[in-house]
Amino acid sequence: MRLNGLAVSRRSFLKCSLAAGGAVAIPWIIPSRVLGRDGAVAAGEKISLGVIGLGSRCHVVLDCMLPEKDVQCVAVCDVQASRRNAGKARVDKHYGNNDCAVYRDFRELLARPDIDAVLIATGDHWHAPVSILAARAGKDVYSEKPCGMTIDDCRSVEETVLRYGRIYQAGTQRRSISNFRKAVQLARTGRIGKLRTLHASVYQPLDRTDWLPAEIEPAREQVDWDLWLGPSPWRPYNHRYILGRGWQGFHDFTAGSNLMDWGAHTVDLCQWANNSDNTMPVEYEPAKDKITARYANGVTLELNYGDKVPQQSMTNLGTCPVRFVGEEGWVETGDNGEIEVYPDSLKSELRQMTGKQSGINPGGHVRNFFDCVRARATTIVNTGVMFHSHAACFASAIAWKLGRRLELDPARVEFINASDANRLRSRAMREPWLV
């Protein structure tokens, strides 16, 4: 239960009330599920969750959050009526009631003092502003990637979360999936020798600046177009923007010239394998089929366009593949859960792994977030990890956009002797969304 906006256990509330001589009316018979018996969690002890943005990825994550016994989703929000109504129906069906509140404007959801944490699964251009406002409102944040539109966006998220003491998890869930974790372990522990090259698959860069033809704008209650645009520059409504991921590829709505869609995952894993969670490459050079980045320790990172990486294994390892190459061997893995290694002597270590998990499954990542919310602990992809891996992707995208090699000071996250590149570390935000 909550008292003056603070979570208070039922036992503490009763103890304090009786000690104060207060009369507390309670039934003689209380259902065991309310007390948290029979494996349940008492209602007052649950993490109260709000959901902002109800697209397809949201439902994948939400379907992992709803079954968690110590979590209660109490509110959903989306600028599209069809999505928010479908979200409420999904939540109410799970709990067998009609209690889930519905909002069009996320600020109303954030104003609720009873909400502890939020899932942010809007379009790319809203991730950072909503995360910042949520942290200021005292909410812990699980944000889908990319977590900002620019390097400065991601820095602002990091600074705000730290300033307000919130728990933050970036939705790069592959850090919580066993085959990716095992591949990183082999690289970090020297099992393939000294690292030489890291391969990360990314989408082909894309940066559209055109506008779709103007259409009649729907009623605000059906689609709040102005709120959908939010911090992005104004443009006339076209239903194709809000249909699925129809906005993807357009500069105003897409982070990192489309490189962030997979790069947020694969570059992040390469950062982890190179023990670079607190830094990033110092050089970036675009080419026809890839962007090559180099770390100060001499390791090379290749962002390979498309859904494959240069590989010696003949196995199709699924989407989002990564490959780590050392002086004595290599390891490669992807979303289907398989791992290929060389030399063959490493295969004995893979036999210890049990079961396979799809790389898109956020179940373990979600649980890590809620455990850290309870313990007030650091998540597996906290703001520092997120910032450096995202910044590496953004720097790569800027080099591609400018079409030339760039050098970066990783401590200041500034390009050296490149004022045009440094200007691309941020974007203007439409009023009143400068946060």
Give residue 143's pLDDT band: very low, low, confident or very high (50, 70, 90).
very high
| Backbone CA torsion sign across 21, 22, 25, 26 | negative
Across 415-432, average pLDDT: 96
Closest CA to 252 of 401, 144, 149: 149
Q: If you average pLDDT over every residue of the chain, what do you get?
A: 91
Query: Above 50 in pLDDT, residue 417?
Result: yes
Spell out the domains of the chain, with CATH numbers in brackets. Answer: 1-41 (no CATH), 174-206+256-360+384-423 (3.30.360.10)
Contact 435, 155 (CB under 8 A): no
Q: What percent of the chain is modeled with pLDDT above 70?
A: 89
Q: How many CB atoms neighbour CB 239 within 10 A?
A: 12
Least trusted range by pLDDT, from 6-15, 208-217, 371-380: 6-15
Q: Give Cα separations from 301 to 20, 177, 197, 253, 396 (angstroms).
A: 64, 22, 6, 27, 10
Across 295-318, average pLDDT: 87
Per-residue model confidence (pLDDT) at position 34: 46
> pTM of the predicted model, to two decimals?
0.90
Per-residue model confidence (pLDDT) at position 25: 38
Query: Above 50 in pLDDT, residue 9?
Result: no
Closest CA to 127 of 412, 388, 383, 424: 383
Give residue 349's pLDDT band: very low, low, confident or very high (50, 70, 90).
confident
Per-residue model confidence (pLDDT) at position 307: 82
Per-residue model confidence (pLDDT) at position 313: 66
Q: Give Cα separations from 206 to 181, 238, 275, 305 (angstroms).
A: 30, 20, 30, 11
Distance CA(192)–CA(87), nearest Å, equals 46
Helices (H) then strands (E): counts for the chain: 15, 17
Contact 179, 155 (CB under 8 A): no
304 CB-near residues (< 8 Å, 6+ apart) = 199, 200, 201, 202, 289, 290, 310
Least trusted range by pLDDT, from 131-135, 315-319, 388-392: 315-319
Angle subtended at Cα 60 by Cα 57 and Cα 62, rounded to the nearest 5 degrees: 105
Give residue-wise pLDDT tens across range 36-89: 555 678 877 999 999 999 999 999 999 999 999 999 999 999 999 999 999 999
Tokens describing residue 242: 């809000």
Per-residue model confidence (pLDDT) at position 38: 56
Query: Above 70 in pLDDT, residue 209?
Result: yes
Query: Above 50 in pLDDT, residue 30?
Result: no
Per-residue model confidence (pLDDT) at position 308: 82
Give residue 211's pLDDT band: very low, low, confident or very high (50, 70, 90).
very high
Three-state DSSP state, 423: helix
DSSP string, 392-407: HHHHHHHHHHHTS-EE
DSSP string, 139-192: -EEEEPSS--SSHHHHHHHHHHHHHTT--EEES-GGGGSHHHHHHHHHHHTTTT
Least trusted range by pLDDT, from 223-232, 291-300, 345-354: 345-354
Give residue-wise pLDDT tens across range 240-252: 999 988 999 999 9
Distance CA(341)–CA(350), nearest Å, equals 9
* 323: β partners: 199, 332
Q: What percent of the chain is modeled with pLDDT above 90?
A: 82
Residue recorded with tokens 């850090």: 175
Give residue 15's pLDDT band: very low, low, confident or very high (50, 70, 90).
very low
Per-residue model confidence (pLDDT) at position 37: 53
Residue recorded with tokens 């894993």: 269
Residue recorded with tokens 């099992």: 191
Max Cα distance, the chain (Å): 77
Tokens describing residue 428: 């203007």
Per-residue model confidence (pLDDT) at position 8: 44
Give residue-wise pLDDT tens across range 368-413: 999 999 999 999 999 999 999 999 999 999 999 999 999 999 999 9
Per-residue model confidence (pLDDT) at position 312: 62
Per-residue model confidence (pLDDT) at position 152: 98
CA atoms within 13 A on the CB side of 7: 15
Tokens describing residue 296: 């100060």
Least trusted range by pLDDT, from 123-137, 284-298, 349-363, 389-403: 349-363
